[in-house]
Chain A
Amino acid sequence: MNFILGILFSIVVVSILVFIPWIGVWAWDLRFVFGVIVPYAAIAIFIMGILYRVIGWARSPVPFRIPTTAGQQKSLAWIKPNRIDNPSNAFGVIIRMAFEVLLFRSLFRNTSLEFRQGNRITYEWEKWLWVAALAFHYSFLVVVLRHLRFFTEPIPAFVHWIENLDGFLEMGIAPFSGFSLPGILISGFVLLAALTYLFLRRLYISQTRYISLPADYFPLFLIIGIATTGVLMRYMGAFMQFIFGADWFSVPVVNVKELAMGLVTFHPVIPEDIGTIFYIHLFLVSILLAYFPFSKLMHMGGIFLSPTRNLSNNNRMVRHVNPWDYPVKTHTYEEYEDEFREKMVEAGLPVEKISEESAEDKTGSSEEAEKE
């Protein structure tokens, strides 16, 4: 297994995943399977899988309180503690976790090693991973929230706000002649750009290239597939028409919403006129949902349970109890004294028991003293 094999494998798998609904809908018209059964199954696997994993984690206890302290501890009253990076109470932990989850604080610390042969090690500014990670996660979140317009009726106000914010760039059709919509939504493009960067850095940085598994490339390619089909549907219909004289990309969104609402209200329907590309999009999303609980993507839940981050460093203040603690064999003081008593007495160290020999000595000497 090397990176080439890993990438090829992932590409092949994602390609197959694209072809399955393509053939299924286009050739065999299995719209109900790909429009209803697969999405329902996927969301069920997603929920059950996540519950299974989180409960699985929760069944193992946290025997020791082992926060990684990344700042000054709370000790003497006049020393200013770092309440966030070395929290001593629940409030600090909440802030620390919030920074970690919402802003990727630890990743923000990242530096990059510059090794000048034999001379000096330096640590260079390296925030690109942090920037790309934030861009990826937040644009994905915006994309997901925007999609709520397909799943709610009436559409809640916050979805409008998000879309307005996301669509503030009103580019019209120019200069991107061929774009189907006058307004573009930035999040989708940021998402694609971030994904591309995250993929390229895996390849470009020799260390990440070495450690990357198919399990790292596959979700990247899968989400790239999802975002790409989304972008094609939204923007590229007219372009397709212009080039090939037929528009296979555009889908009537009213019908799409009918399908989505059918799923949400448990009255599934398969509206007409929805092209195959939509089913590819939906199928890839379903695969992502079903894959999620059994992959590294579970870091979404795992970060909340990470014992080096979610515990306060109050070990010496509040006793932490280990539920599976058991008695162990120790070497007691009595055993220790039994072994070294003579030497201890000789060296003038206090002992608990006077040994027979040294006791005899003492008696002997006192007898002698009496004699004298």
Chain B
Amino acid sequence: MADVPKPKELVKIRHSPPFLTGWMNTPTEIKQGIACYAGKPKNLEYVGLPNPREWSPFDADWKLPPNWKKIILDGLRERLEKFRSLKIFMDICVRCGACADKCHFFIGGGDPKNMPVLRAELLRSVYRKEYTTAGKIMGAFAGARELTEDVLKEWWSYFFQCTECRRCSVFCPYGIDTAEITIIGRELLNLIGLNTDWISAPVANCYRTGNHLGIQPHAYKDMIDFFLDDIEDITGIRLEPSFNRKGAEILFITPSGDVFADPGTYTCMGYLMLFHYLESMGLDITWSTYASEGGNFGYFTSHEMAKRLNAKMYAEAKRLGVRWILGGECGHMWRVVNQYMDTFNGPADFLEEPVSPITGTKFENAKSTKMVHIIEFTADLIKNNKLKLDPSRNDNLKITFHDSCNPARGMGLLDEPRYVIQNTCKYFYEMPENTIREQTFCCGSGAGLNAGEDMELRMRGGMPRANAVKYVHEKYDVNMLATICAIDRAVLPDLMKYWVPEVDVTGVHELVANALILEGEKKRTTDLRGEPLPGMEDMDEEEGAEQTEGAEA
């Protein structure tokens, strides 16, 4: 991993592009710390992606197939015929520049090719050369250029420096969506085997084992069992979740990151405790080891791969004979579920319109896709007074909420999480309005960029988010950043450690479970992380030590 510059170094950013050199004449450099490693051949082979080979983006020779140019141009033509979005976005940009300073990578890095408009121009310039008369005749004067190997490398570099967060699309007067351009750009690159390891490995894993991390069924169950031990230590209650159970009413699918790494694991414990609480009230829910991934790194590869991985959700729901699907806290998972799943793999006519078994609420907004977000589900429970909550257990937390890009701009899940947080925590503070809700800033590591080798890119891209967190930290002493995205939970701790070390990261259902009073639980002394609850700090040290040990086990 390349050394990441210190924050003091990193903030020296120049936002002015070169004065006299035009962008087409500015060569692209593939840099350590910014670029991800290349996909490994075995992963490409496993799912049948083209041109599997050992290669490195830092080498001069990318080992392209001899007819790569034809493949790309044919692929572009095909996609122009398949996606009206692409055609329109290629044609109508007026380069007003409204998007330029809206991208977190441009703000945090200053690389002008990270301005959304220019990222799109990388593709547009080739489109003009190939498909417009002016471009063919006038070349650079019409903003057109030949597709060369350098251009291809530039594409690869910048389409893997975009997190598909859609912030620019909110500000564009024509709604030009860079995410759409990046998605299709990556799809083209994948036609000749240009990808990143951090995306192709999870794709292969997910295809085989059902989840990105490659957790096999027995291990998945073991990991949940660890959580059950922890929960038993904290609450004195042994939960009994079920897996792959036929005939359950609801199938629960969450990103596998939640069973794998802190602090997502605490969120996962939160789901388990909530489900246990609701069992006696009529909740009949099962987990699946086959559909054990909510996220979809296929979506960062191609539409086809997204569909291939997404298919497991409905397939498993059908096999188990459940009535509807409940989905965990995740970002791009919900972009896919909300805007693609029904089209990809529907119609889900074997499922029923989701109804909460506890409150009887019909989730009419999910009547076709038949998948409900757990935040919607929990907000409905709280609204109907179905949860006994003790928010004072979260009194040591001063919370702010990070809207994740995809639920915000690909769905509009904005008020539900806030409602849940405000009913489970006393102290809640919003970040400045230009950094939340539909204008929220990306964590800087989404869309498959959450690798280790591109840490500098991630710290740069996350800077605007961190800056807003720092603001509320300084103003309100905020010490906890809540979020409803598994990638956020995986990457924001690094970001916070780098920019605002005083702030930690949590999922919303961790907060719910902390506040939730389970029937027959023992007096809780620690939160799910094994840290003393407010007012319990003076607890007998031995007991405290024991608790902490328990949580770590």
Give the distance in Å from the alpha carbon of A62 to the alpha carbon of B88 in the complex. Answer: 11
CB-based contact B411/A60 at 8 Å: no
Tell me whether A72 and B412 are in contact (CB under 8 A).
yes
B414–A347 CB distance below 8 A: no
CB of B11 within 8 A of CB of A75, answer no
Rounded to whole Å, the gap between the CB of B43 and the closest CB of chain A is 14
CB atoms of B11 and A328 under 8 A apart:
no
Contacts of B59 in A (CB 8 A): none
Contact (Cβ within 8 A) B419 A66? no
Interface string of B137-157 (1 = CB under 8 A from A): 000111100000000000000
Q: Known contacts A207-B112, A210-B17: does B343 contact A339 (CB below 8 Å)?
A: no
Which of chain B's residues have a CB closer than 8 A to the CB of A330? Answer: 308, 311-312, 315
Check if A121 sits within 8 Å of B463, measured CB to CB.
yes
Given contacts A214-B141, A349-B221, contact A104 B173 (CB under 8 A): yes
Query: In the complex, what distance in Å separates the CA atom of A60 from the CA atom of B369?
Result: 25
Nearest-CB distance from A53 to chain B (Å)? 7
Q: Which of A36-85 contact B (CB under 8 A)?
A: 53, 56-66, 68-76, 78-82, 85
The verdict on A111 contacting chain B, using a C-beta distance below 8 Å, is yes
Whether A307 contacts B467 in the complex (CB less than 8 A), given A2-B22, A328-B308, comes out as: no
Q: Which residues of chain A (309-344) have a CB below 8 Å from chain B?
A: 309, 313-322, 324-325, 328-333, 336-337, 339-340, 343-344
> Whole-angstrom distance between the alpha carbons of A121 and B471 in the complex?
10
The distance in angstroms between the C-alpha atoms of A117 and B11, with both chains bound, is: 7
Q: Are A340 and B217 in contact (CB under 8 A)?
A: yes
B176 CB within 8 Å of chain A = yes
Residues of B within 8 A of A324 (CB): 82
Whole-angstrom CA separation of A110 from B380 in the bound complex: 35
| A3 cross-chain contacts in B, Cβ below 8 A | 22
Counting CB contacts under 8 A, is B93 at the interface?
A: yes
Q: Which one of A4, A308, A317, A349 lies within 8 Å of B365 (CB-CB)? A: A317
Inter-chain contacts of B141 with A (CB < 8 A): 1, 6, 9, 214
Contact assessment for A308 and B343 in the assembled complex, using a CB-CB cutoff below 8 Å: no
Among B207-231, those with CB < 8 Å from A are 207-210, 216-218, 221-222
Looking at B13, B48, B339, B340, the one whose CB has the most chain A CB atoms below 10 A away is: B339
A298 at interface, CB cutoff 8 A: yes
| A16 beta carbon closer than 8 Å to chain B | no
Are B414 and A333 in contact (CB-based, < 8 A)? no
B134 touches A294 (CB 8 A): yes
Contacting pair A76 B361 (CB below 8 A): yes
Chain A residue nearest in CB terms to B18: A210
Known A-B contacts A62-B85, A69-B438, A329-B48; the reply to A319 vs B173 at CB < 8 A is no
Indicate with 1 or 0, residue by residue over B352-372, a CB within 8 angstroms of chain A CB atoms: 000000000101111111010
Question: Contact at A76–B416, with CB atoms within 8 Å?
Answer: yes
Contacts of A193 in B (CB 8 A): none
Contacts of A1 in B (CB 8 A): 22, 24-25, 140-141
- What's the minimum C-beta distance from B315 to chain A, rounded to whole angstroms? 6
Closest residue of A by beta carbon distance from B138: A214
Asked whether A320 and B342 contact (CB < 8 A) given A69-B438, A71-B414, the answer is yes
Tell whether A208 pairs with B96 under 8 Å between CB atoms, given A75-B365, A294-B134, A315-B338: yes
Indicate with 1 or 0, residue by residue over A83-127, a CB within 8 angstroms of chain B CB atoms: 001101000000000001000101101111101011011010000
Closest chain-A Cβ to B395's Cβ sits at a distance in Å of 26
| A318/B15 in contact, CB under 8 A | no
- Contact present for A69 and B408 (CB under 8 Å): yes
* B121 interface residue per 8 A CB criterion: yes
Across the interface, which residues of B come within 8 angstroms of A64, CB to CB?
303, 339-340, 343
Q: Which residue of A lies closest to B118 (CB)?
A: A211
Are A78 and B383 neighbours in the complex by a CB distance under 8 Å?
Answer: yes
Map CB proximity to A onto B41-59 as digits: 1 under 8 Å, 0 otherwise: 0000000100000000000
Nearest B-chain residue to A291, judged by Cβ: B134
A69 lies within 8 A of B409 (CB): yes
A62 touches B84 (CB 8 A): yes
Whether the pair A215, B289 counts as a contact (CB closer than 8 A) is no
Judge whether B307 is part of the interface by a CB distance below 8 angstroms.
Answer: yes
Chain B residues with CB under 8 Å of A133's CB are 96, 173
User: How far, in angstroms, from A112 to B11 measured CA to CA in the complex?
Assistant: 18
Docked-complex contact B82 and A61, CB < 8 angstroms: yes
Q: Is the CB of A73 within 8 A of B412?
A: yes
The distance in angstroms between the C-alpha atoms of A205 and B99, with both chains bound, is: 13
Q: Does B133 have its Cβ within 8 Å of any Cβ on chain A?
A: yes
Measured between C-beta atoms, what is the minimum distance from A203 to chain B in Å?
A: 11
Q: A75-B413, A76-B361 are in contact. Are A308 and B85 (CB under 8 A)?
A: yes
Q: Which residue, B80, B342, B439, B468, has most C-beta atoms of chain A within 10 A?
A: B342
Return the chain A residue nearest B364 by Cβ: A317
B304 interface residue (CB < 8 Å to A): yes
Q: Flag B71-102 by CB within 8 Å of A: 1 or 0 each.
A: 00000000011111111100111111110110
Once bound together, how far apart are the Cα atoms of A6 and B93, in whole Å? 17
Complex Cα distance, B85 from A148, in Å, reads 36
The chain B residue sitting closest to A210, CB to CB, is B17
> How many chain A residues touch the partner (CB < 8 A)?
105
Across-interface contacts of A269 in B (CB, < 8 A) = none
A147 at the interface (CB under 8 A from B): no
**Are B410 and A69 within 8 A (Cβ)?**
yes
* A68 interface neighbour in B11, B93, B170, B383, Cβ under 8 Å: B170
Given contacts A1-B25, A61-B84, contact A113 B18 (CB under 8 A): no
Q: Which residues of B contact A56 (CB under 8 A)?
A: 87
Q: Are A336 and B290 in contact (CB under 8 A)?
A: yes
B343 and A321 contacting across the interface, CB-CB below 8 Å: yes
**Which residues of the other chain, A, contact B95 by a CB distance below 8 angstroms?**
208, 211-213, 216, 296
Residues in A neighbouring B244, C-beta threshold 8 A: 349-350
Q: Which residues of B contact A111 (CB under 8 A)?
A: 434
The distance from the CB of A298 to the nearest CB of chain B, in whole angstroms, is 6
Known A-B contacts A66-B180, A69-B410, A315-B342; the reply to A349 vs B21 at CB < 8 A is no
A225 to B21 Cα, complex, angstroms:
29
Q: Shortest Cβ distance from B169 into chain A, in angstroms?
A: 5
A206: interface (CB < 8 Å):
yes
| Among B8, B48, B115, B121, contact of A207 (Cβ-Cβ < 8 Å) | B115
How far is B439's CA from A4's CA once the two chains are assembled, in angstroms?
A: 35
Interface residues of B in 476-532 (CB under 8 A from A): none
A223 on the B face (CB < 8 A): no
Chain B contacts for A299, CB-based, 8 A:
92-94, 174
User: Closest residue of chain A to B318, judged by CB?
Assistant: A333
A218 to B52 Cα, complex, angstroms: 46
Contacts of B171 in A (CB 8 A): 106-107, 109-110
In the assembled complex, the CB of A85 is this many whole angstroms from the nearest CB of chain B, namely 7
B422 at the interface (CB under 8 A from A): no
Whether, in the assembled complex, A167 has its beta carbon less than 8 Å from a beta carbon of chain B, the answer is: no
- Name the contact of A316 in the complex, choosing from B173, B308, B365 (C-beta under 8 A): B365
Q: Contact: A85 with B438, CB < 8 Å?
A: yes
* Given known A-B contacts A120-B467, A214-B141, A333 and B23 have beta carbons under 8 A apart: no
Tell me, yes or no, whether A346 is within 8 Å of chain B by CB: yes
Q: Using CB atoms, name the residue of chain B closest to A4.
A: B20
A305 within 8 A of B: yes
Closest chain-A Cβ to B348's Cβ sits at a distance in Å of 9
Give A76's nearest chain B residue, CB to CB: B380
Q: Is A129 an interface residue (CB 8 A)?
A: yes
Q: When each residue 157-185 of chain A gets 1 if its CB lies under 8 Å from chain B and 0 otherwise, what string results?
A: 00000000000000000000000000000
Does B371 lie within 8 Å of A316, measured CB to CB? yes
Residues of B within 8 A of A364 (CB): none
CB distance from A272 to the nearest CB of B (A): 38
Instruction: Please give me the residue from chain A that is nearest to B286 by CB atom.
Output: A350
Could you pull out 9 A-B pairs where Cβ atoms are within 8 angstroms? A57-B84, A68-B409, A69-B411, A71-B437, A75-B363, A210-B118, A215-B134, A296-B92, A319-B342
* With A211-B117, A215-B134 already in contact, 9 other A-B pairs whose C-beta atoms are closer than 8 Å: A66-B339, A69-B408, A69-B410, A73-B412, A210-B112, A211-B95, A303-B92, A317-B367, A328-B304
Closest 7 CB pairs of A and B: A73-B412, A302-B92, A347-B218, A113-B101, A308-B175, A210-B17, A69-B412
